Amino acid sequence: MINIVIIEDEKISQDKLRDTLNALEFDINIAAVLSSVKDSISYFKNNTGADLILSDVQLSDGLSFDIFRETGIDIPVIFITGFDKFMLYAFESNGIDYLLKPVEKEELSKAILKYKMFEQHFINQQKPMHNLLALTNPKKKSRLIVKKGIENVSLKLEDIILFYTENKIVYLVDKFEKKYIVDKTLNDLELELDNAIFFRANRQYIINLNFVKCFKAYNKVKLQVDLNLTERNHSIIISQLTAPYFRKWISEA
């Protein structure tokens, strides 16, 4: 049996998750349904018997990532949200999967099957389940193969200033301000890159910490980031929601 805790502040979404879970072909017990960061922190300080957590990201009193930072629990999490901008932080907070609302039965089934496969792996290897995070967050790459015309070029990631998407094509600019095509999406890159060095600024940009020149307030609640680039074609704006994570990322570097 899988003991699942649901963290979701919308009653309609809570009920839909319950119904979807109960319709799956797994032996599932819903141990608790929590609706806030505060209640979740209180719950997990006294209850550690859950096998898996299904959690929304944005709750009524904050972001669910605060729950995992505060409690230090190592229970695997399937994050469920209406936004993909939080993916970077999800995989820093025990995340094994990231589903966008509305969640379909098939998607949720695949996510729980992934959990079951990880669980079986660690049972067979006689290793603790918390090692799952090492498996879902493998060693980051140090180089990337990109395209320049008909050539395939190997670049050091430390030499890349930024990645960006334009007209559904992903490009990068290196420290010599040369532009290359990347045969990956920004979402793919976000999972592969070292998040201590690279930050998903918004839907269009991933930036390298070592090339951040400065940042400043923009429209009072947003941030504008300037990079060490002579080319001025890139206006990198970080939303009000993402700004605290950017400040934390750059201050802890």
Which residue matches tokens 């469920």? 80
Residues 89 and 147 in one domain: no
| Structural tokens at position 177 | 């301000």
Tell me what pLDDT residue 16 has: 93
Q: Is the pLDDT of residue 133 over 90?
A: no
Domain of residue 40 covers 2-136
Residues 6+ apart with CB under 8 A from 230: 177
* Beta-sheet strand order (sheet of 198-200): 151-156, 143-148, 179-182, 169-174, 160-166, 205-208, 198-200
Residues 126 and 21 in one domain: yes
> Is residue 58 very low, low, confident or very high in pLDDT (cuts 50, 70, 90)?
confident
CA 133 to CA 14: how far, in whole Å? 26
Q: What is the pLDDT of residues 108-120, one digit of tens each?
A: 999 898 888 777 6
Question: Among the three residues 136, 164, 181, which one is the final residue of a domain in this structure?
Answer: 136
Residues 6+ apart with CB under 8 A from 151: none
Q: What is the pLDDT of residues 18-38, one digit of tens each?
A: 999 999 988 999 999 999 999
Residues 6+ apart with CB under 8 A from 121: 135
Average pLDDT, the chain: 85
Residues 155 and 204 in one domain: yes
If we measure between CA atoms, which residue out of 2, 78, 7, 11 comes closest to residue 44? 7
Residues 153 and 239 in one domain: yes
Question: Among the three residues 136, 170, 185, which one is the final residue of a domain in this structure?
Answer: 136
Residues 120 and 149 in one domain: no
Tell me what pLDDT residue 85 has: 55
Q: How many domains does the chain have?
A: 2
The percent of residues above 70 in pLDDT, for the chain, comes to: 87
CATH number reported for the structural domain that contains residue 28 in this entry = 3.40.50.2300
Residues 157 and 64 in one domain: no
Range with lowest mean pLDDT among 70-74, 101-105, 130-134, 233-237: 130-134
Tell me what pLDDT residue 171 has: 96
Residues 126 and 149 in one domain: no
Tell me if the pTM is above 0.75: no
CATH number reported for the structural domain that contains residue 213 in this entry = 2.40.50.1020
Q: Is the pLDDT of residue 3 over 80?
A: yes
Residues 109 and 180 in one domain: no
| Angstrom distances, CA of residue 194 to CA of 92, 128, 155, 175 | 11, 25, 15, 18
Strand partners, 145: 154
Residues 6+ apart with CB under 8 A from 79: 55, 56, 57, 64, 86, 90, 93, 95, 97, 98, 99
Residues 128 and 155 in one domain: no
If we measure between CA atoms, which residue out of 199, 189, 180, 176 comes closest to residue 253? 199
Q: Is the pLDDT of residue 125 over 70?
A: no
Question: Among the three residues 136, 165, 184, which one is the final residue of a domain in this structure?
Answer: 136
Residues 46 and 89 in one domain: yes
Residues 150 and 131 in one domain: no
Residues 64 and 182 in one domain: no
Tell me what pLDDT residue 140 has: 63
> Is residue 224 very low, low, confident or very high in pLDDT (cuts 50, 70, 90)?
very high
Range with lowest mean pLDDT among 39-43, 122-126, 159-163, 173-177: 122-126
